[in-house]
Amino acid sequence: MRWMVVLLLLVSCTQCGQTGGTSGDLEKSNRRNDLAVEYLGKHELEAAETEVNKAIALASTNEVPFNTRGLIHVVRALDARRSKEIDQCLTGVDAEVFDEEEDAELAKAEADFAKATELAPDYGEAWSNRGSVAILLEQADDAIAHLTKALGNPARLVEPGLTRTNLGYAYLLKNDTVRAAKELLTVKQFSPGSCLATLRLGRVYFAREEWDKAAQEFQSVDPKCHLQEASFYLMKTRLEQGLTTEAQAARDACLALSPQSCLAAQCRAGVP
């Protein structure tokens, strides 16, 4: 679902209203944090962590480096998930190693995001990132609470539309399709081309067994977004509609994206 791209976009606002420390220490801390963000954007995670730890040491009450360090841990978690589910489809003992790594990194991320929100309760971006971690852990109630808090503090929130999209998905995880649809339709009202909102709205209609609406949403996902999940669910929807030829076309589109992934394996098995 391109979580990596989403999270790297979220570090664009790195100095929105920092607090804490003397002015000199805070300025130095911010410079170190900026450098950490630059390294993170290049996926140089060790260098990013070194710089962000220096930023925290310079001003331990500066909330922004904690948010940045949380993002570093999330990227590591997603690297582990990608190795397990996208680069190759691992199972059994091989998969457990990556699961343990992912869980450990997400726990560290939650701790850092929680610290950022403790230092600055109005830090909408850190609340949003806490919600993203809760979604990755499939903790729907926590995700809803954190994402709602983020939307209540929009001044320091980089992408309100993405946060609301995640909130809609959190409601879907709870099987509350009414609230999920409400949040996702709100996003699409202002950003009709949002790939993630379109995909997740399709998932809502799929859960409701509203096949025509689901197919329309999955088909509307821009291919440039490379969301393999859209092709996978379009295939499943076409099968429910009894449209075998269309299901085969969706399967082929799925296989063209990340052919070694777990979703690709399900696509191969999905159409007779």
Q: What's the CA gap between 26 and 56, in Å, rounded?
A: 10
Segment 135-163, tens digit of pLDDT: 999 999 999 999 999 999 999 999 999 99
Segment 78-128, tens digit of pLDDT: 999 999 999 999 999 999 999 999 999 999 999 999 999 999 999 999 999
Q: Which amino acid is at 89?
A: C
CATH classification for the domain delimited by 186-272, as one of 2.40.30.130, 3.40.50.620, 1.25.40.10, 3.30.70.141 = 1.25.40.10
Q: Is the dihedral of CA 160, 162, 163, 168 positive or negative?
A: positive
Task: Name the residue among 161, 157, 180 with its Cα closest to residue 170.
Answer: 180
Domains 1-158 and 186-272 share a fold: yes
Q: Three-state DSSP class for 115?
A: helix
Residue 90 contacts residue 80 (beta carbons within 8 Å):
no
Give the pLDDT confidence score for residue 242 in this predicted structure. 97
pTM: 0.91
Task: Name the residue among 169, 171, 170, 157 with its Cα closest to residue 128.
Answer: 157
The domain segmentation of the chain, as residue ranges, is 1-158, 186-272
Structure tokens at 155: 């001044």
- CATH architecture of the domain with range 1-158: Alpha Horseshoe (1.25)
Cα angle for residues 172, 173, 175 (degrees, 5° grid): 60
**What are the residue ranges in the chain where pLDDT is below 50?**
1-21
